Chain A
């Protein structure tokens, strides 16, 4: 370890390094939500008529719904009328045609976050779509992707250029009536990414979307739709950060994945929304509905998530395994510290024959945080030879936190084989002693043990993300030892 004492000091002093605010001219709707706001929003985006209808239908249904309260979460009531449903950096003219026209403030922001929007300087190829508050500000490598036939653009742009594709798939995996937050999202979503991989195409580079909440008192509602046609392959990464503010901000996203025959999608998330301070003030309320539908045979979907941010996380990336021989995977690390609460897990719905699913979930709870795994494995009558393996382990750091496991297993097929295992433990004194005896500080030792605990999940992440995730874990755990 060559790090000097000074550097260690600096490392510990840094809390949430993405917590800065960008001063930029924005156009923001006044707080409040009614049909007029939705109509206005749809108009600004110049959306086709079917979208407005879709939004209004969702909104009307949403008004009849109640917030779900079954999760192991303690949520301050949310006033949906005090949130602004649209905020966007002011555009010059018709919006940026190339990076030169993008507001330099914005480019600076992404540079600070370490997200390279400047494609010229990039050596390795990762195409990035950057979403700032309510709109997508830049998408890189568009040309190269176009050559391969891949469509990767903001969903608002897709609505202009490929409305038939959006209309065909939007809301077919997560219908607008699915749940409270999905309905709200369908009514007011402003932007997000749209990906279409045509038949037989292996996406030449990893696709990535970077979400940033900047404005105060706004909610972020993004919608991601990825369609992998037959025999295609794509790896998609998602990252998120937000400034430090004392009030809670709402983030309600919907992600839909559609997989045809032999298609494969690998979806990785590093979620690092602002988690609130050590007293539990502020932070993002993160309510996300993510679902993949394996419509084709032999398709494979893999969710990998590292959840270190957000005051509240409510998120259950699911796999509907319709096609025969399709595979669903879920790898998750959820870390909660201070007053963070996470209720996260997955649903594996086995419908097709010979479908297989794997769930590896690692929950780490420190400080006064509560961390819950909640998952469903359902094997339908027709899912012959379905196979599921679930392992969810919890690690407790400190005696004021909680770790909970709520798995649901429903099997209607005798040839199915379903296994579930869970353990809960703390970092053993022996392990700590061994590391410290080899010269590691207590904090480094804990960080190392936690990283080892999460290794099974990290190895599923793309290289850059794995490095970022490990660093994030270290930072999030700071101050929880001793």
Chain B
């Protein structure tokens, strides 16, 4: 509880520095969220949703928020390797918007892309309309924490019937040790519009905490492809929540790559309206002592919606991977069509995989299936490759790579594909990967 007191004390100092001071509704929202967080603190293992993930280290580590912007230590060349060419880019450094590395070149006038702090000054009504509408701070205490603490973030608003050619990248960077970076992002795609948004989380090799919440609104007939590449430092703690509201006939695709962090928790929740579609893809790669927790919830609230989900995990050394997925089908959601799959590859005796795929169904005319596997590479496949002249190690590499690459291949953006592939190979189970076969 000492840790919790420290976080609370820090908050009292921080509060005057947070954006949106002049907005009463926001002050109220922060106060409510702060009260909710103070009451519960960080989640404990006793909560069913957190039974496999122990976050007590966050409380012990005492991460502190940055009161004012400090980009002095930022290595521009290093940052550049994570910037996607041709993308509209918002860079958040240590929880604050960094204008000099951001780029809004080529952005159509009708589209809003700005930092959350700027948006709260220039378009407060737009933020008010959406903030905390896809997720309430009662969801769990990290969301409450983020709502009270957030210092900046990204706002994307794509007006109706506009197809945005350029992708939008949020590049979230933490350079300082023991920092706490809380960002709150909103992505709105109006009727019949289309957009692609990429969230990239990176950091220099320190221990720090990222607590990010993204709210997504996909309106009628609209389409959004959202990518998330989490390559935080291997000492970092990461909480990322994506909460989606989908209107009728909307389409939402999510590609979630979890590579970094010592402890990462990722939530993806989506609410489906009539005949909407969602496609959730995930790849988590755990090495060393990494703990990666993926949590998804698909709410079929109305009839005729379709959901597809595939999460794959590769766990090596002492890593632990967690998958908790829930498909909820409400009483009226007839003709729901849903599949959920989780596949885990355990490569070492000390690795662990925990899976909890759940179905909660209150309608009868539905097709719902889920499957989980935990296992190792098939002897038969290895034998086949060896019979073709590959040595054992290469054969294993080829098969492990193929297993993970299925998810990477789904990335349609060329630059991003190359970046994700590079991140995958950097953390590849065997250190010396023979890239000839790539």
Contacts and interface: CB of A to CB of B under 8 A. Distances in A.
B360 interface: yes
B374 A409 contact: yes
Interface in B336-378: 344, 346-349, 351-376
Given A416-B374, A420-B372, A408 B356 contact: yes
18 contacts: A72-B360, A398-B364, A399-B364, A400-B331, A409-B353, A409-B354, A410-B353, A411-B374, A414-B346, A416-B346, A416-B375, A417-B373, A417-B376, A420-B371, A422-B357, A422-B369, A424-B367, A425-B366
Given A410-B352, A424-B368, 18 more contacts: A381-B349, A399-B331, A399-B334, A401-B362, A401-B364, A405-B359, A407-B358, A409-B355, A410-B354, A410-B355, A416-B346, A416-B375, A418-B372, A420-B370, A421-B369, A422-B359, A423-B367, A425-B368
Contacts of A407: 355-358, 372
B351 A402 contact: no
Given A396-B364, A404-B361, A425-B366, A418 B375 contact: yes
Contact of A426 (B351, B353, B359, B366): B366
Contacts of B372: 407, 409, 418-420
Interface in B185-235: none
B48 A70 contact: yes
Nearest to A376: B356
A40 interface: no
A419 B371 CA distance: 7
Contacts of B365: 399, 426
A406 interface: yes
Interface of A: 70, 72, 379, 381, 394, 396-426
Interface of B: 48, 331, 334, 344, 346-349, 351-376
Contact of A414 (B48, B348, B359, B371): B348
B365 to A, nearest CB: 6
B361 A414 contact: no
B359 A424 contact: yes
Nearest to A373: B359
A72 B362 CA distance: 13
A72 B359 CA distance: 12
B361 A411 contact: no
Nearest to B316: A414
A337 B62 CA distance: 53
Given A396-B364, A417-B376, A409 B356 contact: yes
A426 B358 contact: no
Contact of A394 (B344, B353, B358, B361): B361
B347 A414 contact: yes
A186 B130 CA distance: 56
B356 A397 contact: no
**Mostly helix, strand, loop or mixed at chain A's interface?**
strand
A400 B344 CA distance: 36
Contacts of A426: 364-366
Nearest to A382: B349
A334 B368 CA distance: 19
A421 B375 CA distance: 15
Contacts of A417: 373-376
A404 B354 contact: no
Contacts of A415: 376
Contacts of A416: 346, 374-375
A413 B354 CA distance: 11
Contact of B371 (A401, A402, A421, A425): A421
A400 B347 CA distance: 45
Contacts of A420: 355, 357, 370-373
Contacts of A72: 360
B240 to A, nearest CB: 24
A429 to B, nearest CB: 10
Contact of A418 (B359, B360, B366, B373): B373
Nearest to B357: A407
A346 B331 CA distance: 27
Contacts of A405: 357-359, 370
A426 B364 CA distance: 6
Query: Which of A403, A409, A417, A424 is the most central at the interface, judged by chain B CB atoms within 10 Å of its CB?
Result: A424
B310 to A, nearest CB: 15
A133 B366 CA distance: 43
A454 B352 CA distance: 34
Nearest to A414: B346
A406 B356 contact: yes
A425 B371 CA distance: 15
Nearest to B377: A414
Given A406-B358, A420-B373, A411 B346 contact: yes
A58 to B, nearest CB: 24
Nearest to A423: B369
A418 B364 CA distance: 29
Contacts of B374: 379, 409, 411, 416-418
Contacts of B367: 423-425
A414 B354 CA distance: 12
A446 to B, nearest CB: 13
Contact of B351 (A70, A404, A414, A424): A414
Those 9 A-B pairs whose CB atoms lie nearest each other, nearest first: A396-B364, A414-B346, A420-B372, A405-B359, A409-B355, A418-B374, A424-B368, A417-B375, A411-B374
